Structure 1
Amino acid sequence: MAELPTTARVVVIGGGIIGTSTAYHLGKLGYSDTVLLERKKLTSGTTFHAAGLVGQLRTSANITQLLGYSVDLYKRLAAETGIETGWKMNGGLRLACNAERWTEVKRQATTAHSFGLEMHLLTPKEAQELWPLMTIDDLVGAAYLPTDGQANPSDITQSLAKGARMAGVKIFEDTPVTRIIVEDGRIRGVETPSGTVECEKLVLCAGQWTRALAASVGVNVPLISVEHQYMVTEKIDGVTPGLPTLRDPDRLTYWKEDVGGLVWGGYEPNPKPWALNGIPDNFHFDLLTSDFDHYSQFMENAIARVPALETAGVKQLINGPESFTPDGNFILGEAPELRNLFVGAGFNAFGIASGGGAGMALAEWVVKGAAPYDLWPVDIRRFGAVHRSTDWVRARTLEAYGKHYTIAWPSEEMRSARPTRRSPLYAHLAAAGACFGEKLGWERPNWFADLAAGETPEDRYSYQRPGWWGAVAREHRAARHAAVLIDQTSFAKFRLTGPDAASALNWVAAGNVDRAVGSLTYTQMLNHNGGDRGRSYCSA
């Protein structure tokens, strides 16, 4: 084994798919003096037991672009490194079993086309022709993405590691980080049993271990471990190597071909958190005890969709922990609490699909100081003080897990861990008929019911006009033709004083804020490139 260097430009912690992808891309960007440290063996955390489905479609155009990059990388990686990845671009089907889901799927198709993704809307019979083992009696339609696929997670990781080494990156297994060294508010290096490595920048890609490791230097990474199970069957007649991956969200299940059998799992509404008192010290290449009783809630729906499952042999029910986050999106970027510490973690069981793109984006972030494009849905800076509470994060994350396959209604609000933060006017607003939403733990009125007319302040979601449509119309009319009061307690507030306050604000604001005392300016706040960092009210 090579000797651990005493210095490196960048240290990456974690030898799963995210860490190796980041190291691979750092090498491609010329950062050959990068060192990757893995506490045990490559893939031994959660990567090795991932199901390996690679889908691309998300509600964000840029996250979809990131996942599309993963597909492009996996297509060519084996030829570059000589290590096969198990990549198969066998396409992906997504089913719709009711009118509301079909509306969602059609909207997704429109979105996919706007992102440049090929996506076809199919009749139930056309879907069955691609996946002959399934029944279609309840289907309204299906969507097909021919560029989706599947891969072997461990093989992809080893291939990325080989590519990283080819670019000069050094990888050390069995080298846990025992301490992150911070001096004068800056990253200085890491300590390991094999010695200390000084570095300019540090990247935490340690999966479910990331939160505790980051917390040791005051950085918050809100994720928890959740048990996730999938079943592996014996060979089934009719299962062919080219069978597309299948997602059946109305039945909460997903499917892929595996050496003539099926791998299938789901996202239950009552998930089980894991490691409530911390992850066991020697946990690696480990699985949890299979919970057939908990998994049985999928069986009736699964057999109804794929009748051959009723008589198929079962090889294994795999139960492995995965890191999940409060909003179902992964965590990427430079930590706001500590400069030059970057995070790539919390991938909500789609780390294989995200791995190539997330590693690319994180490497560019490290090298260039900014993401390659707007990645705010996954940016670590989207979290706030409320996300430091483990209880809050656990409650919200379990709700997000349970919604993984539910319909994503426009403007849908989460219900867990509420209310947490309330303004002094909360009781008055509630008495006036407020229906509250939540932002960073704050309860904020979304709309007001007319209590005298018998309305109730409860959201009714729809892809047409939601239940609050008429109430919001009343509020718009009041704001246009009379006057309204808006409680802005939840808004962040900054006071800037001194002789150069106005000129300093004018430097970062798009609008002119140097106005008469008592005036109010609504304007964008800009980053150093002139991009929009958010909107604010500036008062003189």
Structure 2
Amino acid sequence: MINKADAIIIGSGGLGAATAYYLSKRKGLSVALVDKHDIGSQTSPRAAGMVSCVRKSDLMTSLIKDACRKIEAFTEETGQPLDWVHSGSLKIARRPQDAEVIKADFERSRRMGLDVELISPEQASRLNPFLKPTGVVAAMWIGDDRYFDPAQVAVGFAKAAARQGATLLPNTDVLSVNISAGKVTGVTTANGIIEGSIVVDAAGAWTRQVAEASGIRVPLVPTRQQLIVTEPLDGARADLPMVRIMDAAVYTRPCQGGFLWGVYEETPRFFDMQSLGANFDVKDMPLDIEVLRAAAIEVKDQFPVLQTAKVREFRGGIPTMTADGHHILGPAPGTAGFYFASGCNVAGLSISPAVGELLATWIVDGEPRVDLSLMSVTRFNDRAWSEPELHREAAWQYRHFYGAV
């Protein structure tokens, strides 16, 4: 246990570990990465590990392009392993209104320099024979997309940060962020006080608990996300394109000789982390495989193998959703030294290399190198979100992650 650090990062998932890594690269800056569980053990390793470069804004597209470059250079930069496959992906519309969204996505993506192409349903099926053209009205090929092993990212960043002098403190529960005269002075943990003038709340599903224990309101909702990894299937090559079916919000990618697949359901389950108790671990989250079975039926004409493939692994995580689908990143108003790195909106791990570097720059230099006001928590200041309102908007963002109308 230490008693002082220049920067204290709470939460060692992808966003927290990446921030700790990039902060630890700054000479003379002491960094502590604190987690109530084992390092990188909660939602991050349970993610799908899919990188989607077609986003709803220029900012997010730019950030994910930067993240792609960092994923490619991850091992060289950090010295840690990261297995990734540059497979490309297929975005699929089954309704005319979603085909219009794909056209807009295509035009914006071309303008942003992405490798995209509008293709026929039959061409899409030739690229990934498990995808059938039945009922498909439009398809887009995204050549920049890739996938990676989600279990390696957060742990890799954390180990690399430790090699640069950061202190890793697993199994250390943060009870409160200490604030005096509007400034952060450190944190109180179950093992004692750590003094420090910078605290980053990257606690994932526990972000609200950390912030609200210090009187800071942050409107996000811990949300259950579930996925299946199938047993190996004949023809399921690692380089087959990932597939995203817009209106059904179903995604799939190759995984260990089979497929990994999941769904952003219409009525997701939200969690009050406080009510789950101090010892709750994401691996103990209640799962419901019927949600996946219903999703498999919904896309049976396009991806019939999902109905018959045997389940090798069924897992889930708890990403955090916001009312507008954007991350919450940067300083908390009125509390000098308090920063957020949360509100991942089911896309935090893939973008964490870019976000971690930007936040580290923001903390040390006083401003990020790009305008991140879109992600500021202050954007919610004009509304006092009730829990029902927040849940309604967050559920909509969850279901419509792929832009379906």
Task: Answer yes or no: same fold by TM over 0.5.
Answer: yes
Q: 1:285 to 1:267 in 2, by over 3 A?
A: closer
**2:144 paired with 1:184:** no
Q: CA deviation at 1:276?
A: 7.0
Deviation at 1:277, TM superposition (A): 5.6
Summarize the alignment of residues 10-49 of structure 1 with structure 2, pairs less than 5 Å apart.
10-30=7-27, 32-49=29-46
Alignment partner of 1:293 is 2:251: no
Counterpart Cα distance in 2 of 1:45 and 1:383: 27
The aligned counterpart of 1:157 is 154
Pairing 1:398–2:375 present: no
- In the aligned structure 2, how far is the partner of 1:362 from the partner of 1:139? 41
- Counterpart of 1:534 in structure 2 is none
1-side partners of 2:74 and 2:28: how far apart?
19
Name the CA shift for 1:197/1:289 in 2 (closer, same or farther; >3 Å).
closer
Instruction: Tell me if 1:256 matches 2:253.
Output: yes
Structure 1 unaligned regions, length at least 5: 409-540
Q: CA deviation at 1:156?
A: 1.2
Distance 1:67 1:287, change over 3 A: farther
Indicate yes or no: 2:136 matched with 1:139.
Answer: yes
| Superposition pairs of residues 502-513 of structure 1, within 5 angstroms | none
What is the one-letter code of the residue matched to 2:109? A
Task: Report if the CA contact (8 A) 1:208-1:223 is conserved.
Answer: no
Q: Which of 65, 69, 75 is the matching residue for 2:66? A: 69
Separation in 2, partners of 1:107, 1:214: 38
1:508: which partner in 2? none
Asked if 1:171 corresponds to 2:168, the answer is yes
Deviation at 1:257, TM superposition (A): 0.7
1:72-471 correspondence runs (5 A) = 72-275=69-272, 278-384=275-381, 386-387=383-384, 389-408=386-405
SS of corresponding position for 2:39: coil
| Aligned-residue offset at 1:385 | 5.6
Letter in 1 for 2:287: S
* Rounded Cα–Cα distance in structure 2 between residues aligned with 1:387 and 1:25: 34
How many Å apart are 1:319 and its aligned residue? 3.4
| Correspondence 1:512-531 to 2 at 5 A | none
- AA of the residue aligned to 2:207: T
Q: 1:22 to 1:45 in 2, by over 3 A?
A: same
Residues 229-251 of structure 1 deviation map (CA, whole Å, 9 limit, x = unaligned): 21221111110011122111133
Question: 3-state SS of the aligned residue for 2:224?
Answer: strand
Extract structure 1 runs of 4+ deviating beyond 4 A: none
Decide whether the 8 Å contact of 2:49 with 2:350 is kept in 1: yes
1:355-380 Cα offsets, whole Å, 9 max, x none, are 11111121111112222212232221
Aligned to 2:55: 58
> Cα 1:217–1:277, aligned 2, differ >3 Å: closer, same or farther?
closer
Q: 1:205 to 1:360 in 2, by over 3 A?
A: same
Describe the SS at the equivalent of 1:7: coil
Distance 2:99 2:309 in 1: 30
Report the Cα distance in structure 2 between the residues aligned to 1:171 and 1:292, rounded to whole angstroms: 35
Determine helix, strand or coil for the equivalent of 1:251: coil
Superposed displacement of residue 74, structure 1: 1.0
Q: How many angstroms apart in 2 are the aligned matches of 1:15 and 1:387?
A: 30
In structure 1, C-alpha distance between the alignment counterparts of 2:3 and 2:36, rounded to whole Å = 18
Q: Percent identity?
A: 28
- What's the offset of the Cα at 1:284? 2.2
- Cα shift readout 1:99-155 (whole Å, capped 9, x = no counterpart): 322221121111112222221222222212221111102223321222211111221
Using CA pairs under 8 Å that are at least 6 residues apart, name the structure with larger relative contact order, 1 or 2: 2
| Cα 1:383–1:54 shift into 2, 3 Å | same
Structure 1 residues 310 and 180, CA, compared in 2 at 3 Å: closer, same or farther? closer
Q: How far apart, in 1, do the equivalents of 2:83 and 2:28 lie?
A: 28
Q: 1:397 to 1:52 in 2, by over 3 A?
A: same
Instruction: Summarize the Cα distance change of 1:369–1:281 in structure 2 as closer, same or farther, 3 Å threshold.
Output: same
Q: Give the structure-1-normalised TM-score.
A: 0.71
Give the deviation of 1:278 after TM superposition.
2.7
Could you tell which deviates more after superposition, 255-264 or 266-275? Answer: 266-275
Instruction: State the alpha-carbon separation in 1 of the partners of residues 28 and 393 from structure 2.
Output: 38
**Structure 2 stretches of 5 or more lacking a match?**
none
Distance 1:105 1:31, change over 3 A: farther
- Higher-Rg structure is 1
Report the 3-state secondary structure (helix = DSSP H, G, I; strand = E; otherwise coil) of the residue aligned with 1:84.
coil
